[in-house]
Amino acid sequence: AAKAAGRNTYRFFEVAMAETARSRVRLQQELGHALAAEQFTLHFQPQMKLDTGEVIGFEALVRWQHSERGLIGPGEFIPVAEETGQIVSLGNWVLREACRLATLWPEALRVAVNLSAVQFRSSSLIELVDEALAMSGLPPERLELEITESALIEDHDGAQATLMALRSRGVRVAMDDFGTGYSSLAYLRRFPLDKLKIDGMFVRSLDSDEDAQAVVTAIISLARALHLDTTAEGIETAEQLVMLKALGCDDVQGYLIARPMPSAEVAPYLTRIRGEGADAVHGTLGTP
């Protein structure tokens, strides 16, 4: 009986895997089509400086406007695009579009663009960044690229050369989701970065979990020692904001400040928060 049950379980997995494989293949085909049909769109989430309450920039987050399924989040298609290599053309579209849209904003704020490790390691990256800047006219200082630890672990020399090339142009680089990957402290000192983004996982448990508090404290003091800025992501409550401020975090990003919004809402959003004034913003956020 145990054997039969084992066979049934095996059969079940076989069917489930075939199903997954089929929907993957379908997703791959649709992704190729979506690129050609320009079905992607960017949403922008503000980043706020903690000590003044001012918005200093926006992170570009890609979405797929699927004809039948509606808006699909990147968690569902970025991994597939990475596997197939489609991420290089999708990522290049994101880079160009983010730079272009940022030049339309009423203020010269920074735009942060996520790069997948495949993109970061591709030999055409610097050329594509130069092109995106030249085509849009965005000053390099307004562009920040977010990379993950996985982008740096394989070819250290190559990664360092890429980071130097970006930095020599004035483009900033942030380490995204910090604390969740292969955090080797040795590489941090070696690589020229500008910012650590503290992963939302730690921020979420800040008010309930002393370990999370210890981790965030450690990341902030590490960043300080290495002269890096810190941005806490995924901040949802006023309690988290107060704690992050007390711990000396520089910037915050999360639903508490604002959800990612379509590009057309950026200008009205800025007008609205400027109108409310810094005091109102601080009041809303429960900071003096």
Instruction: Using alpha carbons, select from 143, 163, 145, 162 the residue that is nearest to residue 99.
Output: 143
CA 65 to chain centre: 19
Nearer to ligand C2E, 19 or 154 (CB): 154
Question: Does residue 146 contact residue 197 with C-beta atoms inside 8 Å?
Answer: yes
Interface with ligand C2E (CB under 6 A), residue total: 23
Q: Which does 97 bind (CB under 5 to 8 A by kind): ligand C2E, Mg ion, none?
A: none
The Cα–Cα gap between 129 and 169 comes to 10
Residue 274 makes CB contacts below 8 A (sequence gap 6+) with none
Is 116 near ligand C2E (CB under 6 A)? Answer: yes
Contacting residue, 27, 31, 55, 78, with ligand C2E by CB under 6 A: 78
Q: Which does 255 bind (CB under 5 to 8 A by kind): ligand C2E, Mg ion, none?
A: ligand C2E
Contacting residue, 62, 125, 159, 196, with ligand C2E by CB under 6 A: 62
Q: Which does 78 bind (CB under 5 to 8 A by kind): ligand C2E, Mg ion, none?
A: ligand C2E
Q: How far is the CB of 13 from Mg ion (least distance, A)?
A: 30
The Cα–Cα gap between 49 and 174 comes to 16
Nearer to ligand C2E, 12 or 252 (CB): 252
Is 251 near Mg ion (CB under 5 A)? Answer: no
Instruction: Point out which residues bind Mg ion (CB under 5 A).
Output: 114, 146, 176-177, 233
Instruction: Point out which residues bind ligand C2E (CB under 6 A).
Output: 45, 61-62, 73-75, 78, 91, 94, 114-116, 146, 176-177, 200, 233-236, 254-255, 260
